[in-house]
Chains A and B, each alone.
Chain A
Amino acid sequence: MTTYFQLFVSFFKIGLIMFGGGYAMLPVLEHEVVDRRGWLTGEDLIDLFALSQCTPGVIAVNVATHTGYKKRGVLGAAFSTLGVIMPSLIIITIIAAVLNNIADIPAVQSALSGIRIAACALMIKTMVKMWKNGIRDWFGAVIFAAVFVLTAFTEVSTVWSVLGALLIGILSFHSEREAEK
């Protein structure tokens, strides 16, 4: 059985190794929560990312809260959420107190450039998996392409494209049509 301590430690680790946040760190979350612990399926994680696009809050924190709740209820959610924010609390407080100009250090900047490249490389595998799990037909491919183009090449807020996809999904009556087959 998953203990409060396990939830705390796993999400503490995630908080400690994720840089920047958002989608770049999807592989980190996937590795710990899906592959290692089996707390969520890959599909659950994608669903959580979808929900996090239309609900407030930091994505990694949302994943932590949801996973903790799913495994051990409200208190489990508290432990996992605390775990994911704890590294920030410690590291940022120390930096704010003594190392205010850390971002100006050249070595830090080159390390970050390297981390960004690593994140890009790791994301490829995750994206291939997402494509296989999430896009099963032409309908999915059209939504995928539309959201990508809107987000990458226009100023349209992601909130709108996500809500649009949600609405189109409901109006597709996909499960009804599947049931009729």
Chain B
Amino acid sequence: MTLLLLAMPVIAVIDVPLRSGAQAAPQPQIGEEKRPSVQDVPSAVMKKSRRLFLRDCAPCHGKNGDGNSPVRRTLHPTPLDLTGFDLMDSFILHVLHEGVPGSDMPAWHSSPEDDLRAVSAYTVRLGRPDELADDERYAPSGALQEAGRRIYTAHCARCHGNSGNGDGKDATRYPPIPPSFRGMRPSYAMARRVIESGVPGTAMPSWPLLTPQEIQAVTYYIRSLYAGASGATGATRGTVR
């Protein structure tokens, strides 16, 4: 009896977020609907993925994965806005296995591998890609790519590495180490926010001298480093059902 009494508050404390997480209705996605929305996938796999995401990830990353959660402001750096990036399956699994040292993202050692894969399948669907419309381009693709490469070399390569792998000469000096652009591709809006404001809690500074033109060019270049499938019909996404 005493044991049960002792254990009860603990159970209560743990149990509450689990239940509320499982019951929480997924919020409608804002923005364009180019890619299949997470709510459109009725299969048992995605139901499980969603349940796991809401239980394990949503407390910090928010129900929509956009980083808006009650604890957001207590974490430094703040939880990643998962909707601002195209993420590769392998990249997410790596992060889930290893965590992100220097941030509050833990390694999920104790979770079964199946669960991690399920969560990863859900997370890749959160990204909302934004393509550059023709009238938004400051220059033709070739100029954007070449200017972007030069800006990247001058500003970013020191930490993010020449090929965007996050292996620049200063990468390990200021944890968390920069993520690999091969595994994550920022949207234009996200890249602009990060470059203009920096990422407090990491070594990523703000770059107030970069012009909108230069930010667009360097984003164009960074996006070209992505190794995953591009767009809504990417093969990696199509197989997750």
Q: Do A and B come from one complex?
A: no
Residues of B within 8 A of A (CB): none
Binding site for B on A (CB under 8 A): none
